[in-house]
Structure 1
Amino acid sequence: MIKALFLRESTAGYLSIALTILSVILISLEANSRFLDTFRSTVSTIAYPILALAETPYLLSVGTTEILASRASLTKENKILKDRLSKAEYVTQQVNVLSRENYRLRALLGSKSRLSTEVLVSELMFVGQTPQRFEVLIDKGSDNGIREGQAVIDADGLYGQVIETSPISSRVLQLIDVRHAVPVEVVRTGIRAIAAGTGNFEYLELENLSVNADIRQGDLLVTSGLGGRFPAGYPVGLVEAVNFDRTKAYISVTVKPSAKLNQGRYVLVVFQEDD
């Protein structure tokens, strides 16, 4: 047992000495000649695929990490840009709304300057519309001198009339309400008629107009002033269609309202001299 151990230790010593000598020889050859260049080149050629294969998991992990990091960065940047775009679109929409509102208000004030009667600018507070009822609530009332029956206009024509007041607000019946009717006349011929609401934003109807009446498509209708409720001369609408039926005593005439009844936020309440 002791002998075998001694032999193994002796063999290990010899191997160490041999390797040391071989190392010295190789170092000397490397330093003083190019003898090992071919050998080193061959070993490098053989070892390169092994090294590349061994390095592949590391390279894949680094590449995957970079891809994920880049994706996360792009996702975050995309979200920031979307948020900025949404805010920019909101601001743009608000600017457009204000621009349109300013345009309508300037048109309304321009209409006010053209009138010979006193008017009061009012803002819509509430719009109450059903298939048969078309009313709005405005922010001026009896404290501002408004009373029932006063005409209401916008920048384009007759809008309706005041039907109820409170100290701080008034209820306005719109021109197209089926309960509303206004005496009108045809500017071209002076023919008088009654324009009645239909419950439709697109048209009014003329009541009891004789088949012999001189009226045609495109004729402008204005308030006639008869009855004293509506001042004369305010635009009501343009004749859109005239339908003759010889079996009936009256013709059917539809009129497109001049006022923008479903647009804008401001109207003018008209004061006549006796108000």
Structure 2
Amino acid sequence: MNPIFKHGPSPQHRLVLVLFCSVALIFFDHKMNSFESARGFLQSMVSPLQYLATAPKQMMNWAAENVVTRRQLIDDNEQYKINELVFHEQALQLDIIKRENERLRALLASPLRGDAKKMVAEILAVDSDPYTHQVVINRGANDGVFEGQAVIDDEGIVGQILHVGTTSSRVLLITDVTHAVPVRISRNGVRLIASGVGVLGALSHNHVPHSTDIRVDDLLVTSGLGGKFPEGYPVAKVTSVLQDESRAFSQIQSEPVAKIDRLRYVLLLWPEQVNGQQSKTTKVSDKKANSK
């Protein structure tokens, strides 16, 4: 049913008018930037609404990130504590290895003759008897160790082999009351006997005449007499010289240069004649093998 009265333009005219206005607005906006300020004003008006619309999502994201970050921090903190303990334990091991390397380097740098056969040994046990000064090392008959063999550290004479086992040996230290070392004063060559007194840091020298030229801080080295110890290795330093005319002899005390109370590694020495005998035996055995 058609209306009796028509009001306003027809829909077709309205469409054409709207299209014309749209084209005109697009043209003026593109060519002349006429609506730039209006667009900015409208954008400012719409911005609060956009913030309000995105606020719930941002709050949810912030809450999720905060919870995850806190849990991650707790886990990382626990891991860091574990790593700190591991690194601390490794640092202790490295420090122990470093000290052992320093001992071995110092031991190998001891005043040895180039042609002397030597072998590094480790201390396995220390005799608990306070009246005997003996230690056990991890070298024995399988390594060619023999009784009476000289034992030194990086400073000087330690003692000699007392008993030899298959894989271990017992060392008699120079501070034992039953041990004595023929020595001489490095300064003037005067010969003495250094005897143990049962104290780790002391040696005594008996039957020394009052006229003997000996002073405090004189270095005592092996004299080579007796064939037990090679000549010229440090033994002790003189710490006390008491010349009492009421006594028949001077009272001389010295201190071992070797670290008797801190031994960890020692060196075993072979005399040159033993090396010579071994080399001769080797040559003879080689000749026999070749003849066969």
TM-score (norm 2): 0.63
Cα drift, residue 95 of structure 1: 2.3
Which residue is 2:95 aligned to? 96
* Structure 2 unaligned blocks of 5 or more: 1-72, 275-292
Task: Work out whether 1:210 is the aligned partner of 2:209.
Answer: yes
Which residue is 1:222 aligned to? 221
Q: How far, CA to CA, are the matches of 1:167 and 1:194 in structure 2?
A: 32
**SS of 1:98's equivalent?**
helix
Give me the identity figure in percent.
Answer: 41
Residues 104 and 264 of structure 1 are in contact (CA less than 8 Å); yes or no, is this contact kept in structure 2? no
Cα drift, residue 87 of structure 1: 4.9
Alignment-mate amino acid for residue 132 of structure 2: R
Which residue is 2:239 aligned to? 240
Pair 1:253–1:113, CA change in 2 (3 A): closer
Q: How far, CA to CA, are the matches of 1:196 and 1:80 in structure 2?
A: 59
Moved more, 81-90 or 184-193: 81-90
Superimposed CA distance per residue, residues 41-86 of structure 1 (whole angstroms, 9 cap, x where no aligned partner): xxxxxxxxxxxxxxxxxxxxxxxxxxxxxxxx99x99998877665
Task: Work out whether 1:149 is the aligned partner of 2:148.
Answer: yes
Residues 133 and 176 of structure 2 are in contact (CA less than 8 Å); yes or no, is this contact kept in structure 1? yes
Q: How far, CA to CA, are the matches of 2:260 and 2:103 in structure 1?
A: 13
Cα drift, residue 191 of structure 1: 0.9
What does residue range 1-275 of structure 1 map to in structure 2 within 5 Å?
A: 87-111=86-110, 114-275=113-274
Q: How far, CA to CA, are the matches of 1:193 and 1:118 in structure 2?
A: 27
Q: How far, CA to CA, are the matches of 1:168 and 1:95 in structure 2?
A: 29
Cα drift, residue 130 of structure 1: 2.5
Superimposed CA distance per residue, residues 112-168 of structure 1 (whole angstroms, 9 cap, x where no aligned partner): 765442112111111114221111111111122111111111111001000110121
Q: How far, CA to CA, are the matches of 2:84 and 2:237 in structure 1?
A: 44
Pair 1:158–1:78, CA change in 2 (3 A): same
Alignment-mate amino acid for residue 137 of structure 2: I
**SS of 2:104's equivalent?**
helix
**SS of 1:106's equivalent?**
helix
Residues 164 and 171 of structure 1 are in contact (CA less than 8 Å); yes or no, is this contact kept in structure 2? yes
Alignment-mate amino acid for residue 270 of structure 1: L
Residues paired across the two proteins, number? 203
Alignment-mate amino acid for residue 213 of structure 1: T
Q: How far, CA to CA, are the matches of 1:110 and 1:196 in structure 2?
A: 27
Residues 242 and 252 of structure 1 are in contact (CA less than 8 Å); yes or no, is this contact kept in structure 2? yes
Cα drift, residue 232 of structure 1: 0.9
Pair 1:113–1:195, CA change in 2 (3 A): closer
Pair 1:211–1:95, CA change in 2 (3 A): same
Q: How far, CA to CA, are the matches of 2:76 and 2:200 in structure 1?
A: 48
Query: How well do the aligned residues superpose, as a CA RMSD in angstroms?
Result: 2.4
**SS of 2:100's equivalent?**
helix
Cα drift, residue 264 of structure 1: 3.8
Residues 182 and 225 of structure 2 are in contact (CA less than 8 Å); yes or no, is this contact kept in structure 1? yes
Superimposed CA distance per residue, residues 8-47 of structure 1 (whole angstroms, 9 cap, x where no aligned partner): xxxxxxxxxxxxxxxxxxxxxxxxxxxxxxxxxxxxxxxx
Residues 175 and 197 of structure 2 are in contact (CA less than 8 Å); yes or no, is this contact kept in structure 1? yes
Which residue is 1:45 aligned to? none
Pair 1:238–1:113, CA change in 2 (3 A): closer
Q: How far, CA to CA, are the matches of 1:255 and 1:98 in structure 2?
A: 33
Residues 132 and 199 of structure 1 are in contact (CA less than 8 Å); yes or no, is this contact kept in structure 2? yes
Q: How far, CA to CA, are the matches of 2:111 and 2:247 in structure 1?
A: 42
Q: How far, CA to CA, are the matches of 1:239 and 1:86 in structure 2?
A: 48
Alignment-mate amino acid for residue 123 of structure 2: L
Which residue is 1:30 aligned to? none
Cα drift, residue 90 of structure 1: 3.7
**SS of 1:274's equivalent?**
helix
Pair 1:112–1:217, CA change in 2 (3 A): closer
Moved more, 76-85 or 100-109: 76-85
* Structure 1 unaligned blocks of 5 or more: 1-72
Q: How far, CA to CA, are the matches of 1:180 and 1:79 in structure 2?
A: 59
